Amino acid sequence: MTHETSPGESWIDETLHDDFRFRIKVQRVLHESRTEHQHLIIFDNETFGRTMMLDGVVQLCERDEFIYHEMMAHVPLFALGSPRNALIVGGGDGGVLREVLKHRSIERATLCEIDRSVIDLCSEHFPFISNGAFDDDRSQIVISDGTKFVAETAERFDVILVDSTDPIGPGKVLFTREFYADCARCLKPGGVLVTQNGLPFVQGPELEQSLGHFKSLFKDAWAYLITTPSYVGGPMALGWASDDTALRQVDLGELAARFARSDIQMRCYSPDVHAGAFALPGYVRRLVEGAA
């Protein structure tokens, strides 16, 4: 997967999009293998730090991971106020789990990851991402297909966070109506589902499809935006679904009070950023509102 452009210099292409690609310089490959489910490579890059790609797609970069992980976890958790039980589908690097566990109200955080090798390799090469989260007494790690887990579990969750790859390979089933319907069944009344839904500018149909499923299953379906530099192609959409129509419009003053009480140190998330993330530019709003 790496390309030598001159003696001693290697680059790797991200191959997610049909019409454009970008190339990242590889300073040193730390690991490359084909797991039971996907091709995995971990390497160092001067700008982004330690980087992991799955099936030719950037999944994790040391220098900007905090943006994605903070915004996926804390927007729904601060909206809820005092969540007790969280489910993370995917997220084998442990970053979302790390952020979820910062909330003192959390009694149990279940992480369901299909590929054990992702957890093992991230624990070896990115220990600063999980930062001990896998060993927290409140963490429950389940190695299973996320669709199977939500279809069969008797547990109910305040929040479900789908930290998935794009809809290719093993992540494809995490974008179906059947999966979202099972997530809806697993939520407590007033709970919230948040999903990784790609870059609306170049992956608009993906967001539109998920929002269409959300609208058929939940009273409130929307999205919020984050900007993570290593995900090239514009801001990323995180899907939002809940039967509590007021949940994504919590008063800014109340968010600020909850944030202050938490005493959590952030590098990206803040109450202002939380509120502003739901204000969608026209081209994204049309995808969300037009979804059916």
Fold of 2-61: Spermidine Synthase; Chain: A, domain 2 (2.30.140)
Residues found in the chain: 292
What pLDDT, on a 0 to 100 scale, did the predictor assign at position 62?
A: 98
Residue 163: active-site member: yes
Kindly state the average pLDDT of the residues 128-153.
Answer: 97
Judged against a pLDDT cut of 60, whether residue 6 lies above it is answered with no
Name the H helices within 46-197: 65-80, 95-100, 116-125, 127-130, 146-152, 177-186
Among residues 165, 128, 169, 125, the alpha carbon closest in space to that of 34 is found at 169
Judged against a pLDDT cut of 60, whether residue 117 lies above it is answered with yes
Dig out the tokens for 232 from the structure.
Answer: 């090239």
Q: Which CATH class is domain 65-290?
A: alpha beta
* Residue ranges covered by each domain of the chain: 2-61, 65-290
Measure the CA angle with vertex 174, ends 169 and 177; round to 5°: 130
CA distance 21 to 18: 8
pLDDT confidence band for 104 (50 / 70 / 90): very high
What pLDDT, on a 0 to 100 scale, did the predictor assign at position 169?
A: 62
- Which is the catalytic residue, given 64, 158, 163, 166? 163
Its sign, for the CA torsion 146, 150, 154, 156, is: positive
CA distance 119 to 124: 9
What pLDDT, on a 0 to 100 scale, did the predictor assign at position 172?
A: 77
